[in-house]
Amino acid sequence: MVTFLRNCMYNILGLTTYLRLVSMLYITGIRCGLWKSKYPELYFLKHIVKHGDTCIDIGANLGYYSTQLASIVGATGNVFAVEPIPLFGDIWKKNCKPKTYKQLTLFPYALGAKTDKVQMGIPVSNGRVHHGMTKIASTAQEQYLHFFDVTMRNPDELFSDIQQLAFIKCDVEGYESEVFRNFTTTIQKFKPIIQTELSGAENRTNVIQLLESMGYTTNVLRNNTLVPVQIIEALELSQDFYFVPNKE
């Protein structure tokens, strides 16, 4: 029923208006605490991010994490959002109004090994638009509603001037290993807590091995508590992972 209603809204409103409306409803729901059971990760942010922190939101999409992080870090903090899709960036800017969120900055890039042009697409599955799963279009087997040519930047180069970094959230639909292996200088320097989705066994294994070799432990969120997991268990899970630097 929910999928049917979403498809009806999309067909009536068109993609841009549909995404604008849905994102406003989600952000309002987040503020009101309506999504605590469905998205506990959003509400756990206040336990790992504090006032004045600097955070990076990679794969910012329509601004759900960006607005939540901005409300936590306050006027003395910074949230750098990375979102390469122009359509999403425009909606992000409307949801993250400068007068309300002066601490937010948008970087309109994909992240990878070098400065380049890449094609990204909004996937469609069973007639449903999956805007939250937008990714680099790398397989002919998938169907896409729209394609976008975007600029790719190296994350270590892009954020070479930041003075502090407490938290990274990364959701780039299976491209996380490419992002993190080109972000090692910054991560080693600041040792931020990292929250990330890791779809695909190879991608997940590569990221876990990389970050654990850099002095991180792999954790998942259970009952509002971070619980360490071994890589064998992690490969069987379907949830966000939290990488916490080991205490020296």
Is pLDDT of 30 > 80? yes
What average pLDDT does the segment 167-179 reach? 95
List, for residues 138-166, the tens digit of each pLDDT value.
665 567 667 889 999 999 999 999 999 99
Number of Cβ atoms within 10 Å of the Cβ of 144: 17
User: Would you state the pLDDT for residue 148?
Assistant: 86
For residue 236, give both structure tokens: 């069987």
| E strand spans, the chain | 54-58, 78-82, 104-107, 110-111, 116-125, 128-129, 135-136, 143-153, 167-170, 193-196, 216-222, 225-228, 241-245
pTM: 0.91
pLDDT in tens, 193-202: 999 999 999 9
Per-residue pLDDT, averaged over 104-108, amounts to 97
pLDDT range class, residue 248, cuts 50, 70, 90: low
Q: What is the average pLDDT across 213-238?
A: 96
Residue of 191, 200, 150, 178 lying closest to 54 (CA atoms): 191
Reported as a pLDDT band with limits 50, 70 and 90, residue 8 is low
Output the CA angle 35-82-234, nearest 5 degrees.
Answer: 60
pLDDT reading at 60 higher than 90: yes
| Structure confidence by residue, pLDDT tens digits, 188-223 | 999 999 999 999 999 999 999 999 999 999 999 999
Q: Work out the average pLDDT over 56-76.
A: 96
Which of 74 and 129 is assigned the larger pLDDT? Answer: 74
User: What is the band of 186 on the pLDDT scale with cuts at 50, 70, 90?
Assistant: very high
| pLDDT at residue 64 is higher than 70 | yes
Q: Are 146 and 122 spatial neighbours (Cβ–Cβ below 8 Å)? A: yes
145 vs 163: CA distance, rounded Å: 39
How many whole angstroms from its chain centre is CA 170? 4
Q: Which domains does the chain have, with CATH numbers?
A: 2-245 (3.40.50.150)
What band does 127 get if pLDDT is binned at 50, 70 and 90? low
- Would the pLDDT of 1 be above 60? no
